[in-house]
Amino acid sequence: MKAVEEVVLEIYRQINELPLDEKVDLDIDIGRENGFDSLGIVTFIVEVEDALDIDLDNKLAQIRQCKTLRDMISIIESAKN
């Protein structure tokens, strides 16, 4: 199974149409300019749930409050445990 960070970065790259080899800063501010509008968040969450075979329903409010990818990774990792 892939690590949470790897999955998050892979999906982030897909949403933003970035090359797989492009380095992504985990502390980047996420928002509309990075594909994280309302629909982008839903798409992101569904993709992460599918990739990691987890349910993030009880973490949605926390994920929506995230400011960085690092914040999201932390919350998603807590859902896996």
Kindly report the CATH number assigned to the domain that includes residue 66: 1.10.1200.10
Digit-coded pLDDT (tens) for 4-48? 999 999 999 998 899 988 899 999 988 888 888 888 888 999 999
Instruction: Give yes or no for residue 57 having a pLDDT over 60.
Output: yes
The number of distinct structural domains making up the chain is: 1
Q: Which two tokens stand for residue 12?
A: 């982030």
* Residue 6: per-residue pLDDT: 94
Q: What's the pLDDT band for 1 if we cut at 50, 70, 90?
A: low
- Determine the Cα–Cα distance for residues 8 and 57; give it in Å rounded to an integer: 17
* Residue 72: per-residue pLDDT: 95
Instruction: Give yes or no for residue 81 having a pLDDT over 90.
Output: no
The b-or-e profile of 3-22 (16+ CB within 10 A means b, else e) is ebbebbbbbbeebeeeeeee
Cβ atoms of 2 and 41 closer than 8 Å? no
Domain that holds residue 8: 4-80
**What is the radius of gyration, based on Cα positions, of the chain?**
11
